Amino acid sequence: MKQGWEAVIGMEIHAQLATATKIFCSCAVETGGEPNSNTCPVCLGLPGALPVLNEHVVELGAKAALALGLQIQETSIFARKNYFYPDLPKGYQISQYDKPFSANGKLRIMTAERDDHGHATEWKPMEIHIQRMHLEEDAGKNVHEGLPDVDKFSYVDLNRAGTPLGEIVTSPDFRTSWQAYDYVNHVRRALQWVGASDADMEKGNLRCEANVSVRRVGETTFNNKVELKNLNSVRFMQKAIEFEIERQIAAHEAGEPVNQETRLWDEKNNQTRVMRSKEDAHDYRYFPEPDLQPLRVTTEFVEKIKARMPEMPDAMRSRFIETYQLGYADASQLVGDKSLAEYFETVARITANPKLAANWILGEFTRELNSSGKPVSQSLTSAEDLAELIVQVESGKINNNQAKEVFAEMFATGKPAAKVIEEKGFEQISDSSAIEKIVDEVIAANDANLAAYRGGNEKLFGFFVGQVMKASQGKANPKVVNDILRAKLR
């Protein structure tokens, strides 16, 4: 960022809560279904239909709130947010206004400056103030492509109407695009971690908006802000914010106006462009939803959810560093994904060698997952299987290169280590009498070299090792070979 300027960024995230049914009716939450197939009088907004709050939404909302350091409010009120839009059949969205489900969150995240290649340099903690997370229903979708005569007609699909959302709003705490980036990633992982949301931006079940303005360092008032929308990935979001910061600084310095407006990220041209200029601030004419009771959450309910909360990633990372003596980078990578972290703990426990377990998981295992595009849950190789392989390597039954080959086969087929080792004929010969026999044969066949070795040419030791390994087709345990050769050549 240009010297003398700072950015002021606030984030709004809409996260779809991972319930099986909608927030105020029992229609299924599904993606990819026949348009308008998951609808009923409630989510179609037919006159006289009454909403009934889905209890699972409250549970997942509570998990999300706790995972983000928010305080769950004893009483929250659903409110009607009135606006007209074709994908909103009631003419209002049931949301929450002055009494949100949860508020006043303090969230500690880790954030890093990045070099020119986007690589994190030093990670530092940062505290974010989350003003609120309220519960609301999603709208449907207007469809403008892939259907007949889209130039003549607009289509509306209400399958998404009534899907539960948590809207998470921060104070304007961020000063750089990377802080916002690290925050969104933190929130995404936290929501996935506790099972509150799939938080997949590509699928649209996590959507974020950034409010961006800039000011000269030292100023305490805010300049006009721009709202960035339709950000399809965290990386695009970061780029959009970065672009916006530079654009606004340049405008201010040139004495040009920075308009209060909504802008989109134009992926092709790597720039933001105007979506709509801000008309007068919307008046949504909020009022309490008369068809729903105030939502009261008891202390017992919150305590019950708290008791079921898993250890969160940052706590787990600290524990991995302490208990298993892992480095910060390795531990961070492992807790990047809950299933990976659990996989690691199982392997570490069985092998009693956490360092080696981490190496295998962050090395071969991650490589195979990435190249096959599989999540950990779909790996055919269980943590127990990998642990068994590592134990085989450690006991010297097979060497490292063989183990890598064995693992590739295990990952592809789901076979256990012992089976693949046997099939590949990798079983090492550690039986000393068998190796002794081979050593005797090799020595007998190499009189001249034997004499030279005994005459002082110690380099020939390697020659004998090589011959024995060759004669055993690479299966002899190198340590045993060494021991026996040393004794016999003397």
**Which residues lie near Zn ion (CB under 5 A)?**
25, 27, 40, 42-43
Half-sphere exposure of 32 (CA within 13 A, CB side): 1
| Alpha carbon separation from 482 to 198, 437, 467, 487, 489 (Å, rounded) | 55, 14, 12, 9, 10
Identify which range of 15-23, 159-167, 204-212, 340-348 contacts Mn ion by CB under 5 A: 159-167
Smallest distance from Zn ion to CB 199, Å: 24
167 binds, among Mn ion, Zn ion, none (CB under 5 to 8 A by kind): Mn ion
Compute CA distances 5 → 1, 145, 176, 219, 366, whole Å: 7, 42, 11, 9, 41
Q: Which tokens belong to 478?
A: 């190198």
Helices 447-454 and 478-489, interaxial angle, to 10°?
A: 70
Given the complex with Mn ion, which of 205 and 248 has the nearer CB atom? Answer: 205
Task: Confirm if 320 and 331 have CB atoms less than 8 A apart.
Answer: yes
**Of 391, 422, 426, 420, the residue nearest 407 (C-alpha):** 420
Q: How far is residue 389's CA from residue 387's CA, in Å, rounded to a whole number? A: 5
Stretch that binds Mn ion, among 45-53, 161-169, 223-231, 289-297 (CB under 5 A): 161-169
| 196 vs 403 by CB, closer to Mn ion | 196
Among Mn ion, Zn ion, none, residue 169 binds (CB under 5-8 Å by kind): none
Residue 465 interaction partner, one of Zn ion, Mn ion, none, beta carbon < 5-8 Å per kind: none
Rg (alpha carbons) of the chain, rounded to whole number: 31
Q: Give the other-Cβ count within 10 Å of 435's Cβ.
A: 22
Residue closer to Zn ion (CB basis): 96 or 163: 163
Q: Which is nearer to Zn ion, 28 or 451 (CB)?
A: 28
Considering only the stretches 28-36, 164-172, 223-231, 319-327, report the one whose residues sit in contact with Mn ion under the rule CB under 5 A. 164-172
CB of 40 to Mn ion, least distance (A): 22
- Residue 159 CB, nearest distance to Zn ion (Å)? 9
167 lies in the site for Mn ion, by CB under 5 A: yes
Which of residues 167 and 289 has its CB atom nearest to Mn ion in the complex?
A: 167
How many positions of this chain bind Mn ion (CB under 5 A)? 1
Smallest gap, in angstroms, from Cβ of residue 366 to Mn ion?
36
- Tell which phi-psi region holds residue 235, choosing left (phi > 0), alpha (psi between -120 and 50) or beta: alpha
Q: How far apart are CA 306 and CA 287, in angstroms?
A: 32
Residue type for 4, please? G
The partner in contact with residue 25, picked from Zn ion, Mn ion, none with C-beta cut-offs of 5 to 8 angstroms by kind, is Zn ion
Of the pair 83, 153, the CB lying nearest Mn ion is at: 83
Q: Which does 305 bind (CB under 5 to 8 A by kind): Mn ion, Zn ion, none?
A: none
**How far, CA to CA in Å, does 385 sit from each of 10, 249, 391?**
46, 56, 10
Could you tell which of Mn ion, Zn ion, none binds residue 62, using a CB distance below 5 to 8 A set by kind?
A: none
* Among Zn ion, Mn ion, none, residue 27 binds (CB under 5-8 Å by kind): Zn ion
Where along the sequence are the contacts to Mn ion (CB under 5 A)? 167
